Amino acid sequence: VGVGAEVMHFLASEEALVTRFIVGSPISPEIAAQPGTLRRIVASMQRYHRGPAFPGEFSPFTTVRNYHHLALEYGVTFPETLPRVFTLMAQIEEALGTVQQQKPCHNDLLASNFIDDGDTIRILDWEYAGMGDIFFDLGNFAVNQSLDHERCVLLLQYYFGEAKPADIAHLHLMRLGSDLRESFWGFLQMGVSELDFDYHEYAHHHLNRFLQNVEASPFEQWLKEVNHA
């Protein structure tokens, strides 16, 4: 759809893609949050969200459960807040159950995955791509760029032409879901990764931010509003 790097060849023996090098400029979270760049990023997101379906599904909630199960197998210890975390996640998942639509999604919209080629904001690193809820992409992008509420509203206005209360709630709930996914990915890496990186701090940072944002936000209101389009 003209958003990712152009695929030149697939090396079956290595299970690797050979792509054309993209000449362009990197984008920081601060630049990504600027209205002009934000509008262009939204245009790129819309292109692949409206693109053809492909094999594979993605749900942040299923992913969290899978990461948790695997992490336990590797002997990872979880904090005492885990039961509350799963209760909150169940509330989010239940509230979103009737409003999610399966579309092509990227699911890892860090600023480091964007390149401005002068015409289009190109998006790299499709490792976590799958058919899923576009609001996870929107919420994941919002939390990765530390967008405030006003910028989140602007993001929705660029995407849909307006920012309905139900869509605002949907974005913020998936923003919480993004932190959950990141946290449990970090817990899993504590058990499997050999990299010299503090995954303990990473996992707890995202989990604590999830809990703090639940407490500091109109969480119960979002759960109600998301089903009132």
pLDDT more than 70, % of the chain: 100
Question: What average pLDDT does the segment 40-48 reach?
Answer: 98
Q: Is the pLDDT of residue 222 over 80?
A: yes
Length of the chain: 229
The strand ranges marked E within 64-220 are 102-105, 114-116, 121-123, 130-133
Exposed, middle or buried, 133 (CB in 10 Å: 0-12/13-18/19+)? buried
Q: Answer yes or no: is pLDDT of 207 > 70.
A: yes
pLDDT at 228 over 80: no
Q: What is the CA radius of gyration of the chain?
A: 18
pTM score:
0.94
Q: Which residue has the tokens 């958003």?
A: 3
Structural domains of the chain in order of their starting residue, each with its CATH number: 25-225 (3.90.1200.10)
The C-alpha atoms of residue 204 and residue 210 are separated, in whole angstroms, by 10
